[in-house]
Structure 1
Amino acid sequence: MLFDNFKRIVTTFADEDSEMAWDGDGTLLLGIRGIEVVAKIMQTPNGIQVEHDDVLWNAEQWIWSYLAKLDRLADRITRSVSPPDHYVSPSGKLLDWENQPEKEFSDAKQELQKRFSQHPVDMTLIYFLTSDAGEGKTSLIEKISVDQAEAFKRKDTQTLVLPVSLGGRPFLRLDDAVIASLSNRFRFPFLYYDSFIELVKMGVIIPAFDGYEEMLAETKSGEAISAIGDLVDQLSSNGTLLVAARKAYFDSSFSSQSKLLDSVRREQKVDVCRIALDRWSREVFLKYAKKRNVPTPPQELHGKVARKLKNDKHPVLTRAVLVRRLIDVVTEEGDLDKFLQRLGQSPTDYFFDFVEGIVEREAREKWIDTSGTKKSSLLTKDEHHELLSQIAFEMWVNGVETIGLDVVRLVVQIFVEEKNLTPAILRQINNRINHHSLLRLDDSAGSIKRIRFDHEDFRAFYLGQALARALDSRDESNARLILDAHQLSNPVTNETARYLTSLDTSVLGSKKVIEYLHHLAGGQQPVSYIRENCGTLMLELAERTAITHSITGVNFPENALEQRKIKNLNVSNSLFNSTSLSNSNILNCTFENCRFVELALNGKHNLDGTVFDDECSFDSVSVGNDFDGEYRKFFNPNKVKAVLKNHGFILGSQQNSISEHSDLTKMDKNMKIALRFIRMFARSTVVAENTVRTRLGTQHGVFFNNILSKLQKADLIEPISSPGNRRRYRLIVPLSEIDELVENSGSTFEQFIANASNH
């Protein structure tokens, strides 16, 4: 360690800059946490050594052990983080820059730990951990953080993984989230944020940010991307980060990844890797069932469930959170056949059936009124749902994932009074509520008892029910509180629509609900959450009922039209944020005076009988997948309309006047190769020459002989020095500007170079 680096790091631990001094004989005087520290600093052939309290340390050990007290932090992690019992690690894949499997592994935890032991040199390394909800991201982070902490205490590793939850917290700054986790969850007051940054740069702390998709959803103007970008900039091409996000958000955020790296592209060296967790295979299911000591042989259990559900890939067998609850039913000697019978009733609404089965068992077997001589259920099944909905409502409107047990008991008291239940029942509910099968005590709350749902999907389910109940009863106050708090996730809107369309008057009722949603959205600001959430719910209701609906004056979130199956729908005077039409069937619909920020034509779609009138506007349209060699993006209004016409769009009275451009999305050979190279920078600020040769395959000769020099001459690419004299390249211009340069080039490489040279 260089002396200047040592001095900079030590300074971050001082209470104030003025409370540190150096004497000429190498004595360090440091004020830290109100204590005066005196140490002797010596430069030796083996590096900097520190003599403190008659003990000789090397510089790194003194910083880690004395100043940062990482041994104590490791102990706090093991005490505060509780990975699931009987944990089994899922398999996974390392995906390359084209989202194709580069490496497959059977144990994701083991793979990450191996990678964490290899500290990057002259590079910040970001691992994005992705999967669908309920497939083990949080459990993996918790397990790996505890295992690393235990290994750190045994001196088997010099790296700690620090879990930092972003879910349910409207943080716009990651430093707030980090300090909140250190102080509140781990009760560890010994690090300032600047000290934390230095420890990350040294590779002794790897922050693991969980729930990043919630920041993406909450901060529409890009603050979530800027937050990661600011952190990366502070790391100065050092350290490792782990960021967990749901697959759907990661897949739809190619431009967000580009913006993240564009913000630091010129100053820092950053590499982004994606590790995708697989759903549980049969082998993982059997391993988990064996650890749980299920009374039924695991192979027999898996086969029985698969036969009953007629699907051996059913989410109940492949999603970790659902498998755990299924095994709970088996080990608690519940009626598995009856439970599976309910799940098989509705393949599309299996999650409702799953929760319904859990609550039915809870009401029938566990929540029994013991105050009288005759045993009876404390609450009906629907009352269980209603009570849990009210708890989810309190969490949502307060922007938290946990609430205090005192608040829960207040919710229970109000609920009991509304239902005219007896004080004896109130006492029994209060005694049982924190042991409900779908709730649990929050392990990270310290001595304060706080309650959370057992999984985020259960909270989303009951928030959907809370909103549905408010809409059905026309409870405008509570409906507005829910709709105006944050952007609703897909599971919430799905359950809201399912609940409303399951009512006896679902067909006619859905029209009235859509009218009521128009009432709620009316008069709201263009950026209001209410307008967007109402728009999403209207689409869900329209998709679930076959009658004609009209929607006007609302906003729609990203990918609102992806995988939709709607017909006979009229949408007017509305705004669609960037959306794909992949696997959508939009039949006999009309769009009038609607603005589309971006339409992504990256998969099959059917628009038979659907018309976009003359007043509709399209800011941009993209064709192909993000990493496809044929990927193109268009901004010019005439080209946009020509591309849409070529892809089956009917554009009102302008249809016949739009000229056909069959070659708009075609590119010459050199342009395709150049773009394949440039898109490598979507995941990295620098790319090694050997990597380019490998990824371009047989095309690398053409690239190095005919293309690279022209990209450098046009000031798009520059070579940079690197350790070991390996040749590497950096993209000079923001990746976000490339698409416009390509469009203006007429799809030819030479014109692209000419435009770039004049850019």
Structure 2
Amino acid sequence: MTKEEIKRDFLAYVDDDSDVLFESNGDVMYFKNGTEHICRITTNTDGNTIVEFQEEKFPYRTFISKHLANLDLFARKIIEKRKGLEEFVDSPAILQNGHKSINGTALTLLQKECDEFLEFGSKINFITADAGHGKSVLLKQFQAIQAERYIKGESKYLFWHVDLQGRDLVRLGEAIMFDLGELRFPGLYYPSIINLIQKRFMILAIDGFDELAAEIGGTKAVSSLSNFVNEMAGQGTLIAASRRTFFDTHDYIKRTSLLKNKVPYDINFNELKLQNWTKKEVIAYFTNLAFDNPEQIYDAILSEVHDENHPVLTRPFLLAKLATAIDGDVKQVAEFFSCKCNENESVSYIVESFTKREVEKWKGVDNKTGEPYLSFEQHIQLLSTIAKEMWDAKKDSITIEEIEIYTVLLFDEWNIEDELRKIIIRIVGSHAFLPPVNDTKMDARKFEHEEFKHYFLARALADLFNNSVRTDNYTELKRFLYIEQLPDSVAMYCFNYVDDLNDNIQKILGYFKAMLDAEWKPTYLQLNIGTLLPFMIDKIDFKSPICFDSRVNYSSLIFENKKLSNITFENGTFINISLRDTILDNVQFKNCDFNEIRIETASRVVFRNVSIVDSNVSSIVLLKDGEVVEVAYSPTRITALLTANNIKLEESNEIIEPTEVLTEQSEFKKALTKFILKFNKMTIQYEKNILNEKYLGSNTDLIISEIVPMCIEYKVIEVIETKQSRQMATTAWRLSVDMEELFKYDGIDEKHPLTKFWRSVNER
């Protein structure tokens, strides 16, 4: 090791940049935690770097991990403060890397992903699933297991779970330092964590990346993660967990500038997708809870929901709340499901059942009256008020004192007797839906899960809609929609509780239009109305066509699982719109802008009398079971794909007919497209890996012998040299043009090198 490399390591851990001195004989003096230390660095006859410290000799890497970083103490802090769950059940999962998809269990695949470091590169793994599928529990469990393995000498690295959910933080570095403070662990700094990751002593798991995005904006959040990846300098592994509603791996690659520049680092982007629980996991969970008749309880639940794929049986968090409610008593199952809610909105089952339990529990606190202190509706109103106040204040927690204040403000409206008010105030801070934030903030409360907060926020929003219609005044509604980006689930729950929606739809659309017409700059209003509109339209059946022509942003997954009919969207901006299990009937998009339309061909997508008129469509992405099978950026290819999917393109009252016949692509073009799209998963591809792993299928020889030379000839890819290519004695390739730019010229008749490239491809 050179002096500069050693100095860089020490500077990551010492108290101050000036607190490290090097002598020519190898002595190093440094200050750590306010104390002066001296060690001597030497090289033995085998060429290994040795550190003499406190009359002992250590290999250099051991000195870094055991003394400068003190990872043994770090591991014990994790074991002490962040224990795993005894009732943990491993979920089914799919690991997708650049080479293949692997089916297995989440914990096993996560350990595999973490244990297998890249020798000459870095690895970023996204853990994706919808809310309630157990991402956080998985990361916490593996953190605890890995700390135990480290202490026992069974592993050389620690897994550190940093939870961003519910924190008022605006930078990733702040979150890391805040978490170190919570662990009460001194002597590590942000540069220390980067150094530990690079040396493979630590894997950082960022949980709630979508929370960071909501706090500081999606682009900035992606930039923050991208900066962290750059600081890793092509070394180590990073885990980032997020709901699918925020992004998937493909979206991340497109958003970040990481691949748009010729980065010198070899980076692989993998994805661990958590799958729904099956009967096997449910029975195992009930068994771990020591329920007497797990299968009998499962059958009782199934008889109520009539579908083994119902969210209550497939989402671990919802099942855990159900288990708490029935407490192993099969007779309680029918009572739990007495609230008949929409099966796609199963959080409502949990909320309404637990609210009924609270009504009964509070009645038992004082037996004088025998009546509940608060009715079911009053509990809902109280929790909705709290959720709205948290929304207004942009906070994810609330003090007990504030809860008491909002309760007092509702007493007069509810006509609560003076004698009962003191009792209610005494117990309101221990509501089942509002547990303490953590052991260090016992005076503050939060909703146990974000979906609970979203449900009560939706109830508050529904009240604002009802009040607006009743008073014909939308001021409060507009103020609410200004504050932050609205989660999709709030929009999903909200319109179940808006009164007479069919009768009032035109009035609500009028309010939306009036709000937007008064705007002169972009705010959350355009995005939030764009989120609400598809969910609202999905709830009603228009007898006559309507048009919504205000300038609104529609984004991401809001059109998934929708049936929309007899509507014209005009002047809208559609961002990464996903059409999965989507039915559009007599729907027109006029003067709209689409940056990307994603169509999941393996799902139920039905388009009848659908047209895109005088609009711009920048790209089409076709997927099959979540995997990208084709990307189109050129106008001719976009027209052909839309027409093939029964979507008409019109311009100036004329239908645009495709100029190319959409035929089956040649094997050559299929193989080339697959090869190019692999650069979405890895920044660099190696010839030996392609030959050995066969991850490009049966056309491997075609790719190596014909496709790669063509791509090099037209400067689509370039040959580079990396540590791995030298070590493996193989050739390495990197994409030398922007992927979007590349596909844009497919089918375009222009004098451009990329046009010539595609002409050569299409002739094969």
Aligned residue in 2 for 1:317: 313
Which of the residues 753, 757, 763 maps onto 1:752? 757
**Contact (CA 8 Å) 2:619, 2:631: kept in 1 or not?**
no
Matches within 5 A, 1:593-612: 593-603=591-601, 605-612=605-612
**Contact (CA 8 Å) 1:627, 1:679: kept in 2 or not?**
no
Aligned partner letter, 1:467: L
Aligned residue in 2 for 1:574: 572
Q: 1:436 to 1:269 in 2, by over 3 A?
A: same
Aligned partner letter, 1:133: A
Q: How far does the alpha carbon of each residue in 1:146-195 deviate from its partner, in whole angstroms, 9 at most, with x for none?
A: 22223333443332211112334575532222122222x32334222111
Aligned residue in 2 for 1:479: 477
Q: Secondary structure at the match of 2:309?
A: coil
Q: 1:322 to 1:561 in 2, by over 3 A?
A: closer
Matches within 5 A, 1:314-713: 314-331=310-327, 333=329, 336-342=332-338, 346-364=342-360, 366-368=361-363, 370-371=365-366, 373-416=368-411, 418-422=413-417, 425-443=420-438, 446-474=440-468, 478-500=476-498, 503=499, 505-547=500-542, 548=544, 549-553=546-550, 554-603=552-601, 605-614=605-614, 616-623=615-622, 631-636=630-635, 640-641=638-639, 643-651=641-649, 654=652, 656=654, 658-663=656-661, 667-693=665-691, 694-713=694-713
Q: 1:704 to 1:741 in 2, by over 3 A?
A: same
1:658 Cα deviation (Å)? 2.8
Which of the residues 712, 732, 736 maps onto 1:732? 736
What CA RMSD, in Å, does the superposition of the two structures yield over aligned residues? Answer: 3.2
Greater Cα offset, 713-722 or 140-149: 713-722
Matches within 5 A, 1:3-22: 3-22=3-22
Q: How far does the alpha carbon of each residue in 1:279-313 deviate from its partner, in whole angstroms, 9 at most, with x for none?
A: 11211111110111224x10111112112321122
2 CA distance for matches of 1:303 and 1:212?
37
Aligned partner letter, 1:315: P
Q: Secondary structure at the match of 1:133?
A: coil
Greater Cα offset, 664-673 or 209-218: 664-673
**Contact (CA 8 Å) 2:535, 2:558: kept in 1 or not?**
no
2 CA distance for matches of 1:527 and 1:269?
38
Aligned partner letter, 1:714: Y
Q: 1:743 to 1:111 in 2, by over 3 A?
A: same
2 CA distance for matches of 1:346 and 1:144?
34
Aligned partner letter, 1:310: H
2 CA distance for matches of 1:480 and 1:77?
45
Aligned residue in 1 for 2:101: 102
**Contact (CA 8 Å) 1:632, 1:665: kept in 2 or not?**
no
2 CA distance for matches of 1:586 and 1:753?
34
Aligned residue in 1 for 2:295: 299
Q: Secondary structure at the match of 1:164?
A: strand
2 CA distance for matches of 1:82 and 1:412?
35
Percent sequence identity over aligned pairs: 22
1 CA distance for matches of 2:510 and 2:5?
64
Aligned residue in 2 for 1:144: 142
2 CA distance for matches of 1:518 and 1:227?
35
Greater Cα offset, 743-752 or 145-154: 743-752
Q: Secondary structure at the match of 2:299?
A: helix
Greater Cα offset, 490-499 or 162-171: 162-171
1 CA distance for matches of 2:286 and 2:426?
31
1 CA distance for matches of 2:26 and 2:304?
75
Q: 1:148 to 1:498 in 2, by over 3 A?
A: same
Q: 1:467 to 1:447 in 2, by over 3 A?
A: closer
**Contact (CA 8 Å) 1:309, 1:344: kept in 2 or not?**
no
Q: Secondary structure at the match of 2:30?
A: strand
Q: 1:131 to 1:582 in 2, by over 3 A?
A: closer
Aligned residue in 2 for 1:225: 222
**Contact (CA 8 Å) 1:404, 1:448: kept in 2 or not?**
no
Q: How far does the alpha carbon of each residue in 1:519-577 deviate from its partner, in whole angstroms, 9 at most, with x for none?
A: 33342355311122122212221221113544231222224433321112233233222
1 CA distance for matches of 2:204 and 2:411?
43
Aligned partner letter, 1:102: S
2 CA distance for matches of 1:302 and 1:578?
39
Q: Secondary structure at the match of 1:37?
A: strand
1 CA distance for matches of 2:737 and 2:626?
18
**Contact (CA 8 Å) 2:594, 2:616: kept in 1 or not?**
yes
**Contact (CA 8 Å) 1:643, 1:661: kept in 2 or not?**
no
Alignment partner of 1:190 is 2:187: yes
1:586 Cα deviation (Å)? 2.0
Aligned residue in 1 for 2:25: 25
Q: Secondary structure at the match of 1:742?
A: coil
Q: 1:623 to 1:96 in 2, by over 3 A?
A: same
Structure 2: where are the runs of 5+ without partners?
A: none
Structure 1: where are the runs of 5+ without partners?
A: none
1:682 Cα deviation (Å)? 0.8
Q: How far does the alpha carbon of each residue in 1:619-641 deviate from its partner, in whole angstroms, 9 at most, with x for none?
A: 444455698786131344x7655
1 CA distance for matches of 2:423 and 2:330?
23
2 CA distance for matches of 1:87 and 1:221?
32
Greater Cα offset, 595-604 or 323-332: 595-604
2 CA distance for matches of 1:745 and 1:157?
58
1:206 Cα deviation (Å)? 1.0
**Contact (CA 8 Å) 1:488, 1:533: kept in 2 or not?**
yes
Matched length:
744
Q: Secondary structure at the match of 1:206?
A: strand
1:752 Cα deviation (Å)? 1.6
Aligned partner letter, 1:680: K
Aligned residue in 2 for 1:54: 55
Aligned residue in 2 for 1:287: 284
2 CA distance for matches of 1:490 and 1:272?
26
2 CA distance for matches of 1:622 and 1:154?
48
Q: Secondary structure at the match of 2:432?
A: coil
1:645 Cα deviation (Å)? 4.3
TM-score by length of 1: 0.89
Q: 1:732 to 1:359 in 2, by over 3 A?
A: same
Matches within 5 A, 1:125-204: 125-169=123-167, 173-183=171-181, 185-204=182-201
1:114 Cα deviation (Å)? 4.0
Aligned residue in 2 for 1:212: 209
1:241 Cα deviation (Å)? 0.8
**Contact (CA 8 Å) 2:222, 2:255: kept in 1 or not?**
no
2 CA distance for matches of 1:189 and 1:236?
25
Q: 1:339 to 1:588 in 2, by over 3 A?
A: same
**Contact (CA 8 Å) 1:591, 1:611: kept in 2 or not?**
yes
**Contact (CA 8 Å) 1:225, 1:256: kept in 2 or not?**
no
**Contact (CA 8 Å) 2:143, 2:158: kept in 1 or not?**
yes
Aligned residue in 2 for 1:74: 75
Q: 1:543 to 1:450 in 2, by over 3 A?
A: same
